[in-house]
Amino acid sequence: MQLKLSKHLLIGAIAAATLATACATGPVRRVSDPAVSFQQIQVLPSGSWSVDLRIQNYSSIPMQFDSVNLKMTIDGQDAATVNQAIAMTVGPESPDIIKINVEPNIVGKAAVADALARKTTLNYRLTGTVVAVPEKRSRQTFKFNGASSLSPAPGLPGVLR
């Protein structure tokens, strides 16, 4: 009987030690490449765009985003360039939006005007880099290459979402 009791105590002690060790290491601190997209483009009277830039932090820790350097292409043609300091912290596994001004080239202006006039979807690609500092780590530059689309927003003239 004593042997059985000692065996159960030993198994319980090993299980408790394993659990304590697992908890002591804490949650996994994973850094993943962020994603960037235009959530909204609003055409301003000057012809420039007010853009809601969406930054998705897929990391399990907060990240301080310092800047984005992006090229927007539409149908394989350069449409706009974004070189913007942003200074924005995004929580773990969360998105956030920052409003920026973008000066599109003639291709970008024409493509957006055409999508708005015809009430059709605008497909675009963003390529470039995002500079960020993951919590308690050093600055990193993440390369980005992603495609997305925007459609005219009903009731909001000059707006693609």
Could you tell me if 150 and 124 are in contact, meaning their C-beta atoms sit under 8 angstroms apart? yes
Q: Which is more confident, 2 or 97?
A: 97
Residue 88: the pLDDT is: 96
End-to-end CA distance of the chain: 73
Cα separation, 35 vs 93, in Å, equals 11
Residue in this structure with the two tokens 């043609």, named with its chain if needed: 77
Domain count within the chain: 1
CATH number at residue 43: 2.60.40.1820
Which among 154, 148, 142, 146 is positioned nearest to 33, based on CA atoms? 142
42 domain-assigned: yes
113 domain-assigned: yes
Containing domain of residue 137, as a range?
35-149
Cα separation, 111 vs 82, in Å, equals 17
How confident is the model over 96-147, as pLDDT tens digits? Answer: 999 999 999 999 999 999 999 999 999 999 999 999 999 888 999 999 999 9
31: pLDDT confidence band, cut at 50, 70 and 90?
very high
How confident is the model over 52-73, as pLDDT tens digits? Answer: 999 999 999 999 999 999 999 9
83 domain-assigned: yes
Tell me the two tokens of residue 138.
Answer: 């050093």
Spatial strand order in the sheet of 49-57:
94-102, 49-57, 35-43, 159-160
